[in-house]
Structure 1
């Protein structure tokens, strides 16, 4: 089992630097932040931009992998986003994990004045966004700035590009890993075909036992998707976000250890919890995080 921590981008720098350094010192394998312009009930609170936050985090850490949990096409075009995130990957020394999803239907979906999309339209846009990132992030620009070699062009239903250029050779080969959030069959098929990892929140069911049962259903569904595509499910990380508004894994050490054990039984290879906040959602005691961190080696 590998362990991740999600740090909401609410704390001002340089105080936030202590959280990202702390995640590495605690021994977490990966640290993530949400990719939203604002989020749910926290919309009226401080909320920093994702790419600058991860850039700063890369500068104050050395080992821990860093990621978006998760980026979406709600307010992004694949060309500038690919260049931004590839630059962060270079700064970090090749430690980026790119979590991507279709995007919710909250504030981020309409902040640019877009019309509401149907579920099919949201998936089609997501598939095009993901496939564009897959190509863009693999692209190795010629070293010569004056080179006339073509860049990347595409003309899709949702996105267009004409000779787009990237930053140079990718920091990871052939590109940074894509960890794709997917619950439905079409999205899972996309994750298996294009991605290097699968991410799920297992829905928003408040009943704990129902939630775990559904997490198991999704894990088996992912195995079936891998089998249908001729891909070994054991080769792809399966990441489960342990927390929801009704359930927080770091309420106690026992709660966290129980969640880790249940996730492992369902075939998940990675789990992610949220850094404790002082109040509201994910409110918790830093002492619990201290104790959990001390037990990570034994839980692996």
Structure 2
């Protein structure tokens, strides 16, 4: 079981650099940050840009894998984003993973003045967004005219260090989004269903694992994907105690997850906790 830590992009770099380096020094396997322009209850708090932050983290660390948890099509275009991803892969010396999802309905969905899309429309957009990213990051020159996105002689040189491109981890719960994960992903990620907690949440997560295993696309099977679970979505903050972490990791392992993700403790509010618990968990790992 590999364990990753999400560091929200809130601290100024003088402090954030210490946090990213500490997560690496503690031995965690991967480190992520959110890809939002603002987020839920923290919308009026400090919030820095995802790509510049990950670029800084890439040159401040040496071993830990880095990634987006998860990138959103709400305010991104595949051509410009692919260029940024290729650069992050280079800055990290091939340690970058793209976590990507369909995008939510909050602030990010309307900040550019666009209409809020239906769930079906968001999955349609995800399929096109990920498909074009896949091609852009594999090919030196790409021309595609899609329903939502186009690329005309888009050059992606020198390409990714990781070949044929950096890995994708696609967040998906529904069957159509899972097909995107199986078609393009090295891994699948889930936060489980919204609006349920406790045993009901764990039961639903087990159902999602079964759905993934039943999904096949063009000869690719969901059984072969790495599986990432956001432990903090089921109503219990995984780093509230070492015991809580042990319990949740054990349950994720029983369901066949290869990776789990927890959030770095904050001083107050959502994900409030103590850094000492993070350190104790790392010592056990």
Where on the TM-score scale, by shorter chain, does this alignment land: which range?
Answer: over 0.9
Matches of 1:112 and 1:253 in 2, distance apart? 42
Tell me whether 1:81 sits opposite 2:78 in the alignment: no
- The aligned residue for residue 170 of structure 1 is 160
Tell me whether 1:244 sits opposite 2:233 in the alignment: yes
**Cα distance change on mapping 1:48 and 1:245 into 2, 3 Å:** farther
For normalisation by structure 1, the TM-score amounts to 0.92
Tell me whether 1:278 sits opposite 2:267 in the alignment: yes
Q: Which has the larger radius of gyration?
A: 1
The answer to whether the 8 Å contact 2:10/2:46 transfers is yes
Q: Give CA-to-partner distance per residue, 1:75-134, whole Å, 9 cap, x none.
A: 000000000111011011000000000000000000000012122211111110000000
**Cα distance change on mapping 1:277 and 1:109 into 2, 3 Å:** same
The answer to whether the 8 Å contact 1:245/1:281 transfers is no
Q: CA RMSD in A?
A: 1.3
- The aligned residue for residue 161 of structure 1 is 151
For normalisation by structure 2, the TM-score amounts to 0.97
Matches of 1:169 and 1:244 in 2, distance apart? 35
C-alpha displacement of 1:14: 1.8
- The aligned residue for residue 216 of structure 1 is 206
C-alpha displacement of 1:174: 0.4
Tell me whether 1:49 sits opposite 2:49 in the alignment: yes
Matches of 2:231 and 2:159 in 1, distance apart? 35
Deviation larger for 52-61 or 241-250: 241-250
C-alpha displacement of 1:234: 4.9
Q: Structure 1 unaligned runs (5+)?
A: 141-150
Matches of 2:81 and 2:107 in 1, distance apart? 19
Matches of 1:236 and 1:89 in 2, distance apart? 21
SS in 2 for 1:163: strand
Matches of 2:163 and 2:187 in 1, distance apart? 16
Q: How many residues align?
A: 285
Matches of 1:167 and 1:241 in 2, distance apart? 34
**Cα distance change on mapping 1:186 and 1:233 into 2, 3 Å:** closer
C-alpha displacement of 1:23: 1.0
Matches of 2:197 and 2:93 in 1, distance apart? 41
- The aligned residue for residue 193 of structure 2 is 203
- The aligned residue for residue 90 of structure 1 is 90
Q: Structure 2 unaligned runs (5+)?
A: none
C-alpha displacement of 1:233: 4.5
C-alpha displacement of 1:232: 5.0
Q: Give CA-to-partner distance per residue, 1:113-160, whole Å, 9 cap, x none.
A: 0012122211111110000000011123xxxxxxxxxx2111111011
Matches of 2:234 and 2:226 in 1, distance apart? 25
Q: Give CA-to-partner distance per residue, 1:23-51, whole Å, 9 cap, x none.
A: 11111110000000000000000000000
